[in-house]
Chain A
Amino acid sequence: MTIEAVDRRARGLKTRRETEAVGLGAVLFRLDWVLLAALVATAGFGLWAIDGITMHDAGGSSMTRQALYVFAGGMVFVGALFIDPSTYRRLWRPTYFGTLALMVFVLAAGAATRGSKRWVDVGFFKFQPSEFGKVLFVLALAGILSERSRSITSTRTTLSALGYGVVPILLVFVQPDIGTALVYTSALGAVLLIAGVRWWHLGALAAATVVTALAILWVLPAAGVNVLKPYQAARLTGFTHPGNDPRGATYNLRQSITAVGAGGLRGRGVLGATQTRLNYLPEHATDFAFASLAEERGFFGASILLLLYLLIVWRALKIVTSARDMYTAIVAGGIAFMFMFQVFVNAAMTMGIAPITGIPLPFVSVGGSSMITNFLAIGILQAIYLRRPGRRRA
């Protein structure tokens, strides 16, 4: 298919890769220490927060389990450092189609049990392909775009990237997991932006997204076609009128806003946080973890976490500018934006300024798939940073 596939050795690439292989010393020397510190601090803060949040739950504190995930995430992180991002680029096809296959499998299994199913049970560990899929999706799309970097401004490129991107988004959407589908969409947008497609293409895509959203939420239901189940639509639009339905779809939202507000400046502490402790706040260990944190630790606690997130986003964007090649720049940009998007949608929904979706809060929400995926994402960022151009001591 490509010349490199025919005769890679002949082009001397292997030699160059070998010279660029990263040794342990290089890792230590060239690592983004600020990002690493932010990662450690965020994960630590998350563990501390989740301990308080889940302390009064039926199964007791989830901290131990979560710590295990952090440990596993740490291993993945370290592992990611030693993998050259180019590997991902070359493997974009298996990555992409493998992810698709998993999602189809999840759907099929879900259809068998009826209703929403996002999990794949592999015995010792139930994992959520759409979570890992976030990073794989960025890696694959970046591969596709960097392969077309010469014709990046052509409509064809934009359309083919769009085509590749839309399929997994739809698969996640029908799981149904609207939140994650939105995250995927945001990643697609970021990847296209950093890859350098034309502005008007981006504008058209943004407009198309808005039109689609309107159609799904408003135009089609008015015409009698319901793409979303009623409760989904209610959750998505409920935040615009939270007082409307005291017992229905916006119950979670009202409880969440109450929890955040009640936290005040300093928080109510683990014992005093009745919204969390007495279970008024549903899903407080996962989707609504931010509200729970805000109730227990107050404005101070929630602000520390938000600042840590901001630090991570800042370092990630910085890595975009110091990336070695187009591919890694796109990957870093996609990860950075996707991360920011997740933080925003999750925190904003608990405060009633974004639709309610089932997106976990990075490094805080209980869940192995999310934790490990986030570690992997930061690991890839570090791997990119390690291989940045410039003087290095081997």
Chain B
Amino acid sequence: LASTARPGRFLPGDPRVEEPYRLTPQLAFRVALLAFLALAVFAVLFLRLWALQVLSGDKYLAVANDNRVRTLRIEAPRGPVLDRYGNVLVENAPGTRVELWPADLPKTWPAQRSELKALSDVTGVPLREILDQLNKHALDPLTPIVVQRGLRQDQILYLHEHDAQFPGVRLAHSWLRKYPYQSLGAQVLGYVGQITSGEYKTMKKKGYQPTDSIGQAGIESTYDTYLRGKDGKAQLTVDSRGIPKGATTLLSNPTPGQALRLTIDIGLQRAAERALVYGIQRAHDASYAHADGGAIVAMDPRDGAILAMASYPTYKPSIFVGHKDQKKLAPLLDPKVADQKNHPGINRAIDASYPPGSTFKPVTALAAMQEHLITPTQLLPCTPDYTAYKQVFNNWTNLFNQSIDLPTALAMSCDTYFYELGKRFYLLPPDRGHPLQGWANRFGLGQKTLIDVGPEVAGLIPTPEWRRAEYPKSQGYGIVDRTWKPGYSIQMSIGQGQILTTPLQMTRLYALIANGGKLVTPHIADDVEIAGSKNQPTRVLRRFGAQPPQPSGVDPTALRYVQQGLEEATHASFGTGVGVFGAFPVDIAGKTGSAEKLVKLPGFPNLSNQTQSWWCGYGPFNQPTIVVCALIENGGHGGTSAAPAALKVFEHYFGKNGQLTTHISD
């Protein structure tokens, strides 16, 4: 309709109102443009729809199916650890663990944060720790994070009651390590903890999961594969808030871990740990105020079975279970606090090394006889001091002034006798090599014993070659530093200088003396078994047993003189250990050691020279069944603290009156 004049109209039409409208080509073009756009837009939608639904439909179907299925882990109980008589050293207590399923958490950050904050308040796990874990597993939202194991009853009740406020949080049954003997054998047993990302990287191929618990130290770590068992699996369908829809279906039952039987005798272990405390007390009484640590190893000299391995200071492995109190863990995890607390986490029997002092003298004696530098009956002067190369070396006492044979030298622990041997070793022509060090190595010193718990240090038997390598020219060391001087050989003859051994190495050495010259391999695990019940006998699955002792090539006659010397040390009137062992009804043979060592005492800026108290020996003398080595750090003379401590172990083993306790025939 146009705005042309109409009858009765007296004003022209208002063009703004009655604009004649025609479908101009321009407008048609613009409408066509819109139509074209519409077609393009819908084409895009159809193509995308086709691509998603038809071309990749299967892929997304799989994603959607994964989305709603939660694979639950049914924790397998970890295998118990038994001592040699079947006493349970480590077992499991049922507990509850809190899991966090990242996929089921609230989708908005504020809601997520407030939920995690609440969870942190309930469990006592710091919020930052939870967030750290979440971030670590951000790429895998369908694997739950274990926030905490071992919830208290009130925490469990709270989480159950406030279920709706904690989407993505699930409580599950868990097993917690339990230590009936508390701190006994702590460093040997080790503890269980969350697998670290570094461990996971190396263990991935063995089927470990990023959220697994794993033995972190001691035998828990070494025998983790036997102890851990196999977790079961169940499946559950959930909605997007993680709320289960329908019942849980079991896919596989958990397989409990196998029991591990140790060669340890927990009674003897207790005695050894008490003996350490006693030895330290003895040292304190004798005004060795800095005595604050030590180790005792008891071993069967015939096969290397460890009967007790004690290290002081110690800790309770239970602090790693359930709620972790950072204060209690600090001595183990925080280097600063560990320094103050004298490193309770270190197993001093294998993971610390000390100069052996006089306990090394049997090695010098044996090596000297083997190398024909002396005969056992040949007499050498025992004097207050010994001068060689314009240097004066003191004896440990100035009361001696006589000529003595080799067994007497061992019994009296006469230093000058051994200084002379040391000089003879030094004077050997170069083509003879370094036989003192060579024999020390053949007796297992200066190298790892390869015992089945770790970590272990090798110790050090210094040689001229080692010295040159240790003090390289490139670092500005001069000829004086790099040269092996006669004093080094002389000092090594009495186990001083830079020589370092571990208590276990020394135990192995004395086992060799006791068993007639064979080097045993120390071991702690006896077998893996399935624990028996009333009707079912215990079934041994795998016996680790002892590796056959290796002959060291030492001359039996030479060895007999050394044995004689060690026996005289505890029984002859001039013996250094007679005051401690002379009255003991069982014939014990052994050697004291008092080794000077520069140590860093806590609270003192400079190194100070402290005497390390040693005693190593075995019994009964004629048919040895036990070898004991005791070390008290900064404990003074061997007879002051280490020998009395070792006696305590023998007392437990043989009984106070020396009657063999029943279990020895075992």
Instruction: Please list the residues of chain A having a beta carbon within 8 angstroms of any beta carbon in chain B.
Output: 2-4, 10-13, 16, 146-150, 190, 193-194, 196, 231, 246-248, 251-252, 255, 257-265, 274-275, 277-282, 294-295, 298-299, 302-303, 306, 309-310, 313-314, 317, 320-321, 323-326, 329, 333, 336-337, 340, 343-344, 347-348, 351, 353, 389
Judge whether A263 and B30 touch: CB under 8 Å. Answer: no
Given contacts A196-B27, A247-B141, A329-B21, contact A3 B52 (CB under 8 A): no
Given contacts A294-B49, A313-B38, contact A265 B54 (CB under 8 A): yes
> What would 23 A/B residue contacts be, using CB atoms closer than 8 Å?
A3-B14, A4-B14, A11-B14, A13-B17, A193-B30, A231-B108, A246-B139, A259-B64, A262-B57, A263-B53, A263-B57, A275-B67, A278-B240, A280-B64, A282-B107, A314-B38, A320-B34, A321-B27, A321-B28, A324-B1, A333-B34, A340-B41, A348-B45
Given the complex of chains A and B, what is the CA–CA distance between A353 and B109 in angstroms?
25
Chain B nearest CB from A116 CB (Å) reads 13
Query: Which of B14, B18, B30, B108 gathers the greatest number of chain A CB atoms within 10 Å?
Result: B30
With a cutoff of 8 Å between Cβ atoms, the chain B residues found around residue A265 in the complex are 53-54, 57
Question: Is there a chain A Cβ closer than 8 Å to B48's Cβ?
Answer: yes
Judge whether A261 and B53 touch: CB under 8 Å. Answer: yes
Given the complex of chains A and B, what is the CA–CA distance between A336 and B31 in angstroms?
10
Question: Is there a chain A Cβ closer than 8 Å to B274's Cβ?
Answer: no
Question: Is there a chain A Cβ closer than 8 Å to B423's Cβ?
Answer: no
For B12, the closest partner residue in chain A by CB is A11
Q: How many residues of B contact A (CB 8 A)?
A: 62
With a cutoff of 8 Å between Cβ atoms, the chain A residues found around residue B237 in the complex are 278
Given contacts A196-B27, A247-B107, contact A314 B35 (CB under 8 A): yes
With a cutoff of 8 Å between Cβ atoms, the chain B residues found around residue A146 in the complex are 16, 19
For B40, the closest partner residue in chain A by CB is A344
The 4 closest A-B pairs by CB, nearest first: A261-B60, A278-B239, A264-B57, A279-B240
Judge whether A353 and B49 touch: CB under 8 Å. Answer: no
Judge whether B13 and A11 touch: CB under 8 Å. Answer: yes
Judge whether A303 and B49 touch: CB under 8 Å. Answer: yes
With a cutoff of 8 Å between Cβ atoms, the chain B residues found around residue A321 in the complex are 23, 27-28, 31
For A251, the closest partner residue in chain B by CB is B107
Judge whether B49 and A299 touch: CB under 8 Å. Answer: yes
Question: Is there a chain A Cβ closer than 8 Å to B8's Cβ?
Answer: yes
Query: Which of A310, A336, A389 gathers the greatest number of chain B CB atoms within 10 Å?
Result: A310
With a cutoff of 8 Å between Cβ atoms, the chain A residues found around residue B138 in the complex are 246-247
Instruction: Please list the residues of chain B having a beta carbon within 8 angstroms of any beta carbon in chain A.
Output: 1, 6, 8-11, 13-19, 21, 23, 26-28, 30-31, 33-35, 37-38, 41-42, 44-46, 48-50, 52-54, 56-61, 63-65, 67-68, 102, 105, 107-109, 112, 138-139, 141, 237-241, 245
For B105, the closest partner residue in chain A by CB is A247
Given the complex of chains A and B, what is the CA–CA distance between A300 and B295 in angstroms?
79
Judge whether A280 and B53 touch: CB under 8 Å. Answer: no
For B60, the closest partner residue in chain A by CB is A261
Chain A nearest CB from B649 CB (Å) reads 58
Contact for B21 among A3, A258, A326, A333, CB less than 8 A: A326
Given the complex of chains A and B, what is the CA–CA distance between A310 and B42 in angstroms?
7
Judge whether B60 and A258 touch: CB under 8 Å. Answer: yes
Starting from the known contacts A279-B241, A353-B48, 17 additional A-B residue pairs (CB-CB under 8 Å) come to A3-B14, A149-B19, A193-B30, A194-B31, A248-B109, A260-B53, A261-B52, A264-B58, A278-B238, A280-B239, A281-B240, A294-B49, A299-B53, A302-B53, A306-B42, A314-B35, A314-B38
Chain A nearest CB from B613 CB (Å) reads 60
With a cutoff of 8 Å between Cβ atoms, the chain B residues found around residue A313 in the complex are 38
Chain A nearest CB from B20 CB (Å) reads 8
Given the complex of chains A and B, what is the CA–CA distance between A259 and B52 in angstroms?
10
Judge whether A299 and B50 touch: CB under 8 Å. Answer: yes
Contact for A336 among B11, B34, B109, CB less than 8 A: B34
For A264, the closest partner residue in chain B by CB is B57
Judge whether B38 and A340 touch: CB under 8 Å. Answer: yes
For A281, the closest partner residue in chain B by CB is B240
With a cutoff of 8 Å between Cβ atoms, the chain B residues found around residue A389 in the complex are 1
Judge whether A3 and B11 touch: CB under 8 Å. Answer: yes
With a cutoff of 8 Å between Cβ atoms, the chain B residues found around residue A263 in the complex are 53, 57
**A-B contacts, CB under 8 A, total:** 184
Judge whether B61 and A261 touch: CB under 8 Å. Answer: yes
Chain B nearest CB from A54 CB (Å) reads 15
Given the complex of chains A and B, what is the CA–CA distance between A259 and B34 in angstroms?
31
Judge whether B11 and A351 touch: CB under 8 Å. Answer: no
Judge whether B45 and A306 touch: CB under 8 Å. Answer: yes
Chain B nearest CB from A261 CB (Å) reads 3
Chain A nearest CB from B536 CB (Å) reads 46
Judge whether A147 and B16 touch: CB under 8 Å. Answer: yes
For B59, the closest partner residue in chain A by CB is A261
For B241, the closest partner residue in chain A by CB is A279
Chain B nearest CB from A176 CB (Å) reads 16
With a cutoff of 8 Å between Cβ atoms, the chain A residues found around residue B49 in the complex are 260, 294, 299, 302-303, 306, 347, 351
Given the complex of chains A and B, what is the CA–CA distance between A115 and B399 in angstroms?
95
Chain A nearest CB from B26 CB (Å) reads 6
Given the complex of chains A and B, what is the CA–CA distance between A298 and B52 in angstroms?
10
Contact for B52 among A11, A260, A278, A279, CB less than 8 A: A260
Given the complex of chains A and B, what is the CA–CA distance between A3 and B240 in angstroms?
64
For B58, the closest partner residue in chain A by CB is A264
With a cutoff of 8 Å between Cβ atoms, the chain B residues found around residue A333 in the complex are 31, 34
Chain A nearest CB from B168 CB (Å) reads 11
Judge whether B21 and A264 touch: CB under 8 Å. Answer: no
With a cutoff of 8 Å between Cβ atoms, the chain A residues found around residue B64 in the complex are 258-259, 261-262, 274-275, 280, 295
Judge whether B48 and A317 touch: CB under 8 Å. Answer: no
For A337, the closest partner residue in chain B by CB is B34
Given the complex of chains A and B, what is the CA–CA distance between A303 and B1 in angstroms?
41
Judge whether B44 and A193 touch: CB under 8 Å. Answer: no
Chain A nearest CB from B322 CB (Å) reads 28
Chain A nearest CB from B107 CB (Å) reads 5
Given contacts A278-B240, A302-B49, A306-B49, contact A257 B60 (CB under 8 A): yes
With a cutoff of 8 Å between Cβ atoms, the chain A residues found around residue B139 in the complex are 246
Given the complex of chains A and B, what is the CA–CA distance between A279 and B13 in angstroms?
62
With a cutoff of 8 Å between Cβ atoms, the chain A residues found around residue B61 in the complex are 261-262, 264
With a cutoff of 8 Å between Cβ atoms, the chain A residues found around residue B239 in the complex are 277-280
For A327, the closest partner residue in chain B by CB is B19
With a cutoff of 8 Å between Cβ atoms, the chain A residues found around residue B19 in the complex are 146, 149-150, 325-326
Given the complex of chains A and B, what is the CA–CA distance between A333 and B38 in angstroms?
12
Query: Which of B44, B65, B240, B245 gathers the greatest number of chain A CB atoms within 10 Å?
Result: B240
Chain A nearest CB from B528 CB (Å) reads 42
Contact for B67 among A274, A303, A310, CB less than 8 A: A274
With a cutoff of 8 Å between Cβ atoms, the chain A residues found around residue B141 in the complex are 246-247
With a cutoff of 8 Å between Cβ atoms, the chain A residues found around residue B50 in the complex are 299
Given the complex of chains A and B, what is the CA–CA distance between A193 and B48 in angstroms?
28
With a cutoff of 8 Å between Cβ atoms, the chain A residues found around residue B240 in the complex are 255, 278-282
